[in-house]
Chains A and B, each alone.
Chain A
Amino acid sequence: MNIVVCLKQVPDTETQIKIGPDNKSIVTDDIKWVINPYDEFGVEEALQLKEKFGGEVTVVGMGPKRVTESIRTALAMGADKGILITDDALEGSDSLATAKALAAVLKDLEYDLIFTGQRGVDDDMGVVGPALAELLGIPNLSLIVKVEAAEDGKSVKVNRPVEGETLVIESSLPALITAQKGLNEPRYASLPGIMKAKKKPLEEKTLGDLGLDAAQFGEGARKLKILEMTPPPERAAGKIVEGETPQEKAAELAKLLHEEAKVF
């Protein structure tokens, strides 16, 4: 079973994000970059399927050169080869443009399954996976927490949690799955794995290599424009409800909820 995992590099989830002077972007100077955690579930699931069915796992990433580190990390976890789409013209691309670039790479690959994260933890758009499936004309299985591949490797049965219940979907292959938290517990890129990853193939492709028109990518081609970024409001101090008796406190609380918090 040949599997492709699309991977985004995002700021480490413990990074303190600072908004840049343009109010439209974040300061990236001291950021530690990691694999988007949802994409990492995809890497792990792909590796588990490979262990069972054989085949190859290819990791595709997009972005500046630093993204090679994340692709190599996936190779260190056990993936077989990597492809980085990198081109100055890609800077500032939106989700749709990203999906187009990924689709151009995938066109030339043989795959039974594609994994993406259900969303990137930086922009929280959740568009790339479904858009990519649409561009490739294959079924899209979103927010999946369990994957069972048929013994013959020709179809999958997947679970999506819906309002406390589970929706079980069966699909033919090839198909695209967007990974949700709960799918698995990703392994560490082990030290011996990291040493081996250095020798695994990692190819770089520009827009030109993919036969794509630079005008369709980057800041200028965005369908969505970022107007402004603002930090979340600082949490206000708590309030202690005064009162002699529980009854008095409850009355005071009800009054505050009504008059100050305006919840009813």
Chain B
Amino acid sequence: MGDLQEYFGETHEMVRQTVRRFVRKEISPFVDQWEEQGEFPRELYTQAGETGILGIGYPQAYGGSGGDLFVKIAATEELMRCGSGGVAAGLGSLDISIPPILTLGTEDQKRRLIPPVLKGERIAALGITEPNAGSDVANIRTRAVRTDRHYVVNGGKTFITSGVRADQLTCAVRTGGQGAKGLSLLVIPSHLPGYAVSGKLRKMGWWASDTGQIFLDDCRVPADNLLGAEGQGFYGIMENFQKERLQLAVMANMTARMALEASIRYAREREAFGRPLSGFQVTRHKLVDMATQVEVSQEFTYRVAAKMEAGKNQFKEISMAKNFACTISDKVTHDAVQIHGGAGYMREYLVERLYRDNRILSIGGGTQEIMKEIISKQILN
């Protein structure tokens, strides 16, 4: 017999256990309350920072914990177990805002801008989307004009995860002409004059994460905070897309898995017409379909992750994995609510939240349609 290809080893299991304990102790008991309040306490960042959860995948030189993609996957899966996509998204906003600093930043910028975030002392957000530019990144209008030692920034960003509380915003700005080549990335500290934040945006899901709108009005940002050269912004954004999509695929798979598990539990307990729901073939077969889909999606995501870990370009495959995982989680969370009946529509049941939290996954980090464009270019050209 050949060797079984295992993605997770001893280190991964240990990480899993630490994060699982962290979730059980520091998150799960409070998560319903945080969901209703629309945010989780700031201290959760410092607690997760101390435990090294925030630093997974980042170099130890900048306060990171190291670890490969599967360490990150194990941690994300356990974090998702808290049942609130919003908590995972809020803690995870650094994973989209720090990588461009790592890719484009100078040594001084990395030492200045990364360690406080990985310790959980500063909250980091990524500012790309604008009222008139989402997937169409090249249409960004927020403008940064260079004076001698500053950039004067005018414009606005919206739908920014952790945007209300962020201490620093990795922000896409236009420093040059039209299109992608005119874009740059600037790290803007939120305490600067001219930086203003709206109240929390009210959302369908991810309630425990603060999503905000940011206004930049003659905001003078030190030129030291420009990442890379002017015009490298688009590259800086693109560079992290593979990992971001992997992260979203993992979140979708976990959302579906939890919906499946909750449905199995419910189908065993709930009785109708004198027997448990699991006694009806229609329910059993539905659960089988759900389980099969979750299994296949998760395995495919792992396989793509293993190829990414081995250094292979997986631009097409990871887009497929994200789309596939989101299609499955759409279907499985829908079916999970259906199995729960009226209870599934009630907030006290986990599947109600999973159903809402799931909806963003096929929109954020590249919409389903953008993913398909990427894939179509690769298979048709």
Contacts and interface: CB of A to CB of B under 8 A. Distances in A.
B65 interface: yes
A189 B17 contact: yes
A149 to B, nearest CB: 27
B10 A188 contact: no
A14 B17 CA distance: 13
Contact of B11 (A14, A190, A194): A194
A72 interface: yes
A245 B22 CA distance: 50
B50 interface: yes
B51 A191 contact: yes
A194 B14 contact: yes
Given A34-B17, A188-B22, A193 B10 contact: no
A192 interface: yes
Contact of B14 (A14, A189, A192): A189
A227 interface: no
B51 A72 contact: no
B194 interface: no
B52 A193 contact: yes
Contacts of B71: 191
B52 A191 contact: yes
B178 to A, nearest CB: 44
Contacts of A195: 11, 60, 65-67
Contacts of A188: 18, 21-22, 51
Contacts of A69: 10, 13-14
B79 interface: no
Interface in B1-58: 10-11, 13-15, 17-18, 21-22, 24, 50-53, 55-56
Contacts of A14: 24
B17 A191 contact: no
Nearest to B71: A191
Interface in B263-284: none
A36 interface: no
Interface residues of A, number: 18
Interface string A180-217: 00000000111111110110000000000000000000
A68 B10 CA distance: 9
Given A195-B65, A195-B66, A189 B10 contact: no
Contacts, number: 54
Contact of B52 (A32, A68, A192): A192
Nearest to A189: B18
A178 interface: no
What is the predominant secondary structure among interface residues of chain A facing chain B?
helix
Nearest to B60: A192
Nearest to A76: B14
A95 interface: no
Given A34-B17, A73-B17, A191 B10 contact: no
Given A195-B65, A195-B66, A195-B67, A190 B14 contact: no
A188 B19 CA distance: 9
A14 to B, nearest CB: 8
Contacts of B22: 188
A73 B15 CA distance: 9
A38 to B, nearest CB: 16
B13 A191 contact: no
Contacts of A197: 14
B212 to A, nearest CB: 29
Contacts of B65: 190-192, 195
Interface string A49-83: 00000000000000000001100110010000000
B13 A190 contact: no
A34 B21 CA distance: 11
Contacts of B67: 191, 195
Interface in A1-57: 14, 32, 34
A191 B15 contact: yes
A14 B78 CA distance: 15
In the complex, which of the residues B14, B53, B55 has the most CB atoms of chain A within 10 Å of its own CB atom? B14
B45 to A, nearest CB: 15
Contacts of B24: 14
Interface string B113-147: 00000000000000000000000000000000000
B11 A198 contact: yes
Contacts of B15: 191, 194
B117 to A, nearest CB: 15
B365 to A, nearest CB: 24
Contacts of B10: 68-69, 72
Interface of A: 14, 32, 34, 68-69, 72-73, 76, 188-195, 197-198
Given A188-B18, A188-B21, 10 more contacts: A32-B17, A68-B10, A73-B17, A189-B17, A190-B51, A191-B15, A191-B51, A191-B53, A193-B52, A197-B14
Interface of B: 10-11, 13-15, 17-18, 21-22, 24, 50-53, 55-56, 60, 65-67, 71
5 contacts: A14-B24, A69-B10, A190-B65, A191-B51, A191-B55
Which 8 A-B residue pairs are closest in the complex by CB-CB distance? A191-B52, A191-B65, A190-B52, A188-B51, A194-B14, A189-B18, A192-B52, A188-B18
